[in-house]
Amino acid sequence: MNAQQPTVPSVLLPEILEFSPQLILDDIINYANEAITNTVDALEGFLFRWASVREERVKEDWDSTQEVEQGLVAFQTLLESHTDIAFDFFEAWSLRNIFAIPADLPVVVPHQENLDLDYPPERETELMTEIDELRRKIDAQRRLKRVLTRAVRKSSADRRRSERRLEQLSFLQSPQVYELAGLPEQYRSTFSAVSSLPPLTPEAVAAFSQSPLADPGKRPWEVNKMGYLDWASKQLLAKATHDGSAGSLAVGSLVESTTAVAKTPDLMRLMETSSTSQYVSVPPPCDP
């Protein structure tokens, strides 16, 4: 027997043939087993019909179902056994002859055509490093894509939320709102106009309040009735303070009464009553 020539390793066969030889052999064996199953199924129907006709013709006590099933199982087992043996030889012969490529046969696969495989190990190391770097970049790009996808989804959600808010605030675009927008400018112009006015003088205040101004050449009690009453009250308070405890009581009653006074006639009556009860008289000062 001739020694078998060295062949290409079986690991490289799928790369060269672009399909796996073992898979195609398995498919052939499966088709054969499927044919056996179909044959047994067809034979089963035929045997059951034959057994029924024989029972009617012979009219014997014969259990045809059990015997037919046992015969079919034995027949199927026999066929599968011979098929397995035959296809085991077929598989081994195919792998040694059909799908065997001699090692010395110059075979160039399509995806390796025009490639220079004589690079030194240093160059191969550089290429592998470059490939690893490219893989890292691809992985980084994939991660960036996922991050950008999430960002786009978040931005879309924010945009929809902003659109809903804009729709809720759409009433601000009504003409009335535009009219209100001009009010601050009017307020500023009014404030500027008021700020530019000259400061108020006593003459202007008197003109606005329509009250006579005090004459700088007159004393307080000579101005008017209220001025005299104010001066007299101060004189009474000052004198009562120097009169001791009795005067203090009088001053206290006078102060309490004065705080309850709300009108000018009440103040005048109070002054007359206090002067009579304490025998205090305050003559108006004489002109110098």
Query: What are the backbone angles phi and psi of residue 75, rounded to the nearest 5°?
Result: -65, -45
Q: Using 50 as the pLDDT threshold, list the residues of the chain that sit under it.
A: 1, 211, 245, 247, 251, 261-262, 277-288
- Which pLDDT tens digit goes with each residue over 90-115? 988 988 888 877 777 777 777 777 77
pLDDT of residue 142: 95
Q: Are the CB atoms for 231 and 217 separated by under 8 Å?
A: no
Query: Counting beta carbons within 10 angstroms of the beta carbon of residue 15, is it exposed (0 to 12), middle (13 to 18) or buried (19 or more)?
Result: exposed
How far is C-alpha 151 from the geometric centre of its chain's CA atoms? Answer: 10
Residues 6+ apart with CB under 8 A from 127: 119
Sort 182 into a burial class: Cβ within 10 Å, 0-12 / 13-18 / 19+. exposed
Contact indicator for 222, 234 with CB cutoff of 8 Å: no
Cα separation of 3 and 1, whole Å? Answer: 6
Distance CA 9, CA 21 (A): 13
Q: Return the closest-CA partner of residue 251 out of 233, 225, 226.
A: 233
What does the DSSP assignment read for 47-77?
Answer: HHHHHHHHHHHH-----HHHHHHHHHHHHHH
Residues 187-232: tens digit of each pLDDT = 778 878 877 877 767 666 655 555 455 555 666 666 666 767 777 7
- Each domain of the chain, given as residue ranges in start order, spans 13-112, 116-197, 216-278
pLDDT for 217: 60
- Asked whether the beta carbons of 239 and 257 are under 8 A apart, the reply is no
C-beta of residue 258 within 8 angstroms of C-beta of residue 229 = no
Distance CA(138)–CA(149), nearest Å, equals 16
Please state the separation of Cα 4 from the chain's center in Å: 71
Both structure tokens of 128: 């592998």
Rounded Cα distance between 79 and 65, Å, is: 21
pLDDT of residue 218: 64
**And the tokens for 36?**
């056996």
